[in-house]
Chain A
Amino acid sequence: MMPVPKTHRNRILAIAIAVAVVIAIVLVAVSYLTRDGADETTPVVTTDTVATETVAPDTSTAVALVAGIPQKGTVLGKAGTTVRLLQFEDFQCPVCKRYTDDALPALINEYVKPGLVRIDFRGLTFLGPDSEKALRIALAAGLQNRLWEVVGLFYENQGTENSGWVTDALIDRILGEVPGLDAAKVKVDAKSPAVTKQIAATQAEATALNVQGTPWFYVGVGFRPPYSISPLPLEPSAFRPALDGALKG
């Protein structure tokens, strides 16, 4: 092929670069301007999330509380949120139930729903066999991004410690209350090595972070390692200073 004259080539190059840069800038502008578009125009529908803004009248409080909020695994809240609240808990811990009843709804409404904070569930099993049985079901539901409904429902039905209250009938009832959940798959996944590994990883994380009981809370901001907070009493007002502070950076 005949070489193109240099001046002509330079002109083509300048035009091509200008076009490429303009296209890149347009892509940047579109990306930036549409970053929240999906959240504004659709009822929080993602490929792997429960996405029902409309809650059936007979839906339990636990299910209604998290309806329409994106979930992924153990995380409740919009991805890309830089502040996260890690909560270590045990399904048999009465104080965890009190926190779930008294503080969590306000935290979800004030911080998670507006996309300010993500809450990350960390389940421990130190109280006994019922803790582990419930946790396995919750984590298996997390594989379908429905963990938070199950967490709330277990606390709603919390029984006496290690009395065998996490019965198969209770599990069936709880799983039946979660919209869009494949209950049969949850029961299979609950016994899977993946769930066992997740439980062990959380235990190791709790040891590394020096978790001293449940519920135990940490706040993580961006890349920085999470730091422990001690919100007492377990009411929304005790969490607000830590979360507001984290949001300010």
Chain B
Amino acid sequence: MLAIHGISKCYGQTVALHPATISFIAGKTTALIGPSGCGKSTLLRLLVGLIPPDQGIIQFDGEELREDNLQAIRRRLGYVIQEGGLFPHLTARDNISLMASRLDWSDSQIDERLSELCSLTKFPRDGLNRFPAELSGGQRQRVSLMRALMLRPKVLLLDEPLGALDPLIRADLQRDLREIFRAAEATVILVTHDMGEAAYLADSIVLMRAGKIVQQGLFQDLWRQPADEYVTEFINAQRSPLETMTVEGEAQ
């Protein structure tokens, strides 16, 4: 479905991404995880074509991503970023349906799809007439998801979609996301720095560090057979402080 072969990217003297090769499993969710600056967001931006790679190729459905087919391929991708990136001057409805109406979808087609998306993302229909400034942070991310899913993309790319949300709203949306991914039947690539989120949402995890892929596999593989010490260190560092406290209390 989506594959990269030897993709790399430098910003001046800094290597953001060393040559990487990954085959993303069709219809499954892959999490790109790692600390800040590990190259996970760079990789995602390369996949959307927001920045060009220095070398290597990106293949989408067997087709190589090039300057001339970029726009067409983008319409088969959905892209969600941390703050939503919603257009502040358009209502939720217009944000979601802008591209569809540019592609000459009829009003009834658009309406029908909006209904599907509202129930999928559990977004109240009357919220569609609100402007982004009138919505809560969680609602904005749901609108952003609907916008990404509007054209029924085969690939959904999310860059820390829950990063800016309160813990309760975050837990809520996290639960819903799993259902949304399943229902969308898309190949999902999710960038996060939260191992719990990755383990909960993703079928497969790609752990990155300093522009390189450290290990790729199921959470259980990373947990039981870490490729090096860093993997264990990264997982342990993210264990909930609450959990640690309980363990200590039992020991006493």
Q: Do A and B come from one complex?
A: no
